[in-house]
Structure formats: C-alpha cells, structure tokens
Chain A
Amino acid sequence: MDHSSGEALHVGLETAAPTVKKRTFAPRVTLAVQTYAWRLVIALAILTSWETAVRLKWVNSFLLGSPSGIWEAFLRMLLSGQLLNDIGATLTATLVGFAAGSLLGSLLGLGLWYSPLLARVIDPLVIALNGVPKIALAPMIIIWFGSGMFSKMALASIATFVVALLSAYQGATQVDRSLVNLMRSFGAKKYQVFWKVVVPSSIPWVISAFRLNIGFALVAVVGGEFISSDRGLGHMIFVAGNLFNLNTVWVGVILLMIAAMLLYTVVGYLESKLLSWSKSDAGPRTSVGA
C-alpha cells in the first residue's frame, strides 16, 4: 500500500519535472555555493576566535591546544617523517581489516541463504558476537598476534565481519519470493537463483553494512593501538595525551576524521557503481553519523 502510493507520487513528480526544473535550476547552484561558503565562514570563525582566545589568555592553551600550535605540531611531525609512518600504519590496518572483514562477512551472510538450518544453528553465536564490544577482544588478539599491525587488522576484521554478516544475511532472507518463483519457472537451479537474484537484491544491505563498518574498523584499529602498539595514529594520540601534548592529539583526531571521510567517499563511489540502476531511494541507508 505504502509502496504504491509512493510510486504514484514519484511518477507525479517526474511528469511535473520540466517546468519545475527551469525555475529551480539557478537557485540550486547558489544553494551549493551558499552551503560551502557558510561552512568556510563557520570554520574560519571558530579557528580565529579559538586562536584569539588562546593569545589573549582567555583560555588555557595547555588544556585546549591552539590552531597555530596544531599546525606547528603537524609540520614538525610531517617533516620528521613520523607522521606519515603513523598515518600509513593506521590506514593500512583499517583498510585491510575493513576489506577482509566486510567482504568475508558479506559472502558468508549471503551464503547462509543456501542453508537456513546453518543460519539457525549459528544465530545465537552471531548475536552474542554482535553484542560484545569488539575492543574487549583486543587483549586476547594482541597476545595471539603481537602488538604489530597484524593484530589491528585482525581486530578490525572481527569488528566489521559480524556487522557485514548480519546485514548481508538479512538482505538475503528478504529477497522477493516472487522473483525467485520467476527464476524457478524458467527452470533455474539454486545457484542461479543465488547469483542472479539473491546477490543483486542484497547489495543495498551489503553497502549499508560497509558504511557502518568504516566507523567500526577505525574504532577497532585506534582502540588496539591505544592498548598496545609502537606506531599508528592511535599510538600517537595515546602517547601525546599522556604527555598533555594536546596539539599533537588534535593532529591525530583531525587526521582520523579525514581518513573516515575519504573512506565514506570510496564507499559512496562503490555504491553509485553498484546501484546505478536505482534512483537513490532503494534499500536501507545509513547516514554518515549513524
């Protein structure tokens, strides 16, 4: 019911499009420009008032850091080569862990469609694993795999694996029965139903898990680095924090934000490639903040 009324609305909008477009095209450009302009203005306002407040000693730069101090710390670490080393370690661990966990989890989640019995059997285990804060596994993982990058990859894989598995399995079970019947009416084998219906129709679920997993992978890697490591942005933040070197902490935090945004862009690109057929209103979506 809901669906059909939504479609009707959609069609209605489409037929109305030509006239509406003419009127809103110009304002839309200025809207984008306005958005960016405002963001810039707000950022500059925050940075200048922060810097001013620190210079005039209204706030304690020791407890807050300062924009100029952050910039100096950034340059110093960049020139010493230490920063790139840390960025490299964290990014590599995040990317590898994210990719391995998300891909394996998605494949297994989709594959569970083949065996509802197996899905039922492992259900409590998956739910329990999903509920556990993955960082609680860090001590164990670090004991097994050492304090190097590999243990961080393993942590990120575990953290992303469970989410990807649950989401992909849910997508696979919500596959449209009548599309499966259509396949069967052509005499399709089970593997054909899987590859031609189950996999493509689950892609929105898989992508939404990828999106969530960016955050989970970063939390796992940085958390692991906090606990035991010799490099990485988490390591850098942890050490600097212990020394009350807040400017360096800020550098790490900002770089982590940039890393997350880059990863979102990659997933967004992947989504636009894989879901080019849909008009941005198909499947579940999770916003950046979720």
Chain B
Amino acid sequence: MNQNAIRDVVEVRNVSHFFDNPESGSIPVLSKLSLRIRQQEFVSIVGPSGAGKSTLFNIISGLLTPSEGSVLVHGQDIRQSTGHVGYMMQKDLLFPWRTVIENVGLGLEIKGAAKSKRKELGRDYLRRYGLESFADAYPSTLSGGMRQRVAFIRTLVTNPDIILLDEPFSALDYQTRLVLEEEILSVLREQGKTVVLVTHDIGEAIAMSDRVVVMSKRPGTVKQIYDVGLAALHGSALRARADHRYNDFFEAIWKDLDIQIGREA
C-alpha cells in the first residue's frame, strides 16, 4: 500500500461526476471511475465523444471538484487546489491580446519567473518547434495547428512533472503529427515526465503509450486497459507502428469503441 502510494503519482479514486442541467436534472458524466498513473508512465485515454475525458482532466487538474470520489497526486488529496499538473486543454485558449512569446510565458509569469528568463526559455522552445519567427505575432494570425503548438509549448515551458494533454495534435496534419509524436515522446521520456494523453486517434494511442485506457460511453468509466509498451520497447513511436502487435491492439481497441458507437446510433 505504502509502496503503491509512492509509485502512483496520480490516483483517481471512485470518481463520479454529475452536471446540473436545468431541463433534464443532473446528467451523470463519470461513474465510479478509478485509475492509477505510475511515475514516468505514458498513458493514453481513448473513448467516445462525450464520455467525460475532458471532465476527468478538469478533475485531475483541480479545476473541477468531483461530485463523488477523490484524486490523489503524489499521495495527497488535491481537493480545492490547482497548479500540480501541466494541463494542455482541448481548446488552445491563447490570449488574443498577448503575442506568441507572451502567451508561451504565461505559466512562468504566474509562477513569478523574471521577464528575461521567460523570453529566453520561450524563444528556446519556439525555435525547437519551428515557431521562432512568430514570436512577436498575435494568435489571430496563426493557423490552427500553429496555435496548438503554441499552447503545447506554453504547457511544457513551466516544466511540470505530470502533464495532461487533451487532444494536443487534433489540428495538425498527419506528417507534422507523426514528427511531433516522435519528438515529444523522446523529450518527455528523457526528462522523466509522467504523461496522460487524451486522443481520438487509436493508432496514436498505441504508438505512444505504455498503457491505453479505453473509456465507456457516458457516464464514462474505465472499460478496458491495454498494456501496450511498444514505444518503450522500440524507443520510437514510428517503429512502434511497425510492430506486428500494433494491429492486434488496434483491432481490440477498435472493437471496444465500435460497440459503443453501435449502441449509441
């Protein structure tokens, strides 16, 4: 028990959540969901739209207090507190009145870093992700994919050890996506980060993760967990896709999801 508490950096305990709806009363979105994320693990969550994936992230990050259950981060109940994880939300949420570099520095600014340090770090990251020439542009002039990369950098630059990514690549073209998957995987592994990724791309989940969590339709709960580990085995998301087990996982997860969609339709 004690050992578990150390190894599990995030522990979601029996979390249920209801949203109050004036017309139809309260809607159950999450139902008795339990999940443990281990230190330095890369976990992906897939599930049908509306299953409560973003809601789960809002709860883990402390933005939302669950109706029932609790969340422990590093063994401590996070209730009512925020700032313990890096959270890249589904929408990019760039501040329109801030330039790209000012947006990237937002988290550092909140944590009290000096302006020179913010600029320096921000430029480093922008260079690495090919956005250096847009440092002084306003977000309204960027494409959706670029905005997403800026939001991603804004999350990384504060150097959180636990990172929640809610569909971080959804606006990117396929090639950029593959390159970024590779890049991110190596960087985050190197730095020993713990990552939870929500994605609708089953292939991406298999190629990047140690484990893939399949959620049921609303009210969401854990339906199935797959120990994948192909990326760790091969040291690359691209080579993970070439592994013969990739297709088996794909088919199994596809079936889990397909049944849900079939029922819903």
Binding site for B on A (CB under 8 A): 178-179, 181-188, 192, 196-197, 200-201, 203, 275, 277-279, 282
The A interface is mostly helix, strand or loop, or mixed, namely: helix
- B: number of interface residues (CB 8 Å): 24
- Contact B96–A185 (Cβ < 8 Å): no
Return chain A residues, CB-CB under 8 Å to B110. 183, 186-188, 192, 196
C-alpha gap A185/B84 in the complex (Å): 8
- Contact B140–A279 (Cβ < 8 Å): yes
C-alpha gap A185/B62 in the complex (Å): 7
How far does the Cβ of A228 sit from chain B's closest Cβ, in whole Å? 45
Question: At the interface with chain A, which of B69-77, B86-94, B226-234, B245-253?
Answer: B86-94
Binding site for A on B (CB under 8 A): 58, 61-63, 82-85, 87, 89, 91, 93, 95-98, 106-107, 109-111, 138, 140, 158
- Contact A277–B83 (Cβ < 8 Å): no
- Contact A185–B97 (Cβ < 8 Å): no
Return chain B residues, CB-CB under 8 Å to A183. 106, 110
Task: Name which residue of chain A comes closest to B61, CB basis.
Answer: A185
- Contact B83–A187 (Cβ < 8 Å): yes
Known contacts: A185-B61, A277-B138. The answer to whether A179 contacts B95 by CB under 8 A is yes
- Contact A187–B82 (Cβ < 8 Å): yes
Return the contact of A179 from the options B62, B93, B158 (Cβ within 8 A). Answer: B93
Return chain A residues, CB-CB under 8 Å to B97. 200-201, 203, 275, 277-278
- Contact B82–A184 (Cβ < 8 Å): yes
C-alpha gap A279/B97 in the complex (Å): 11
Return chain B residues, CB-CB under 8 Å to A201. 97
How far does the Cβ of A288 sit from chain B's closest Cβ, in whole Å? 25
Return chain B residues, CB-CB under 8 Å to A186. 82-83, 106-107, 110-111, 158
How far does the Cβ of B18 sit from chain A's closest Cβ, in whole Å? 19
Return chain B residues, CB-CB under 8 Å to A196. 95, 106, 109-110
Return chain B residues, CB-CB under 8 Å to A179. 93, 95
C-alpha gap A247/B185 in the complex (Å): 81
Return chain A residues, CB-CB under 8 Å to B91. 178
C-alpha gap A185/B54 in the complex (Å): 13
C-alpha gap A200/B99 in the complex (Å): 13
C-alpha gap A196/B140 in the complex (Å): 18
C-alpha gap A203/B110 in the complex (Å): 21
Task: Name which residue of chain A comes closest to B63, CB basis.
Answer: A181
User: What are the 8 closest A-B residue pairs judged by CB atoms, nearest first?
Assistant: A187-B83, A185-B87, A186-B107, A186-B110, A277-B97, A188-B110, A182-B93, A277-B138
How far does the Cβ of B105 sit from chain A's closest Cβ, in whole Å? 11
Q: Which interface residue of B61, B84, B110, B158 has the most chain A CB atoms within 10 A? A: B110
- Contact B63–A185 (Cβ < 8 Å): yes
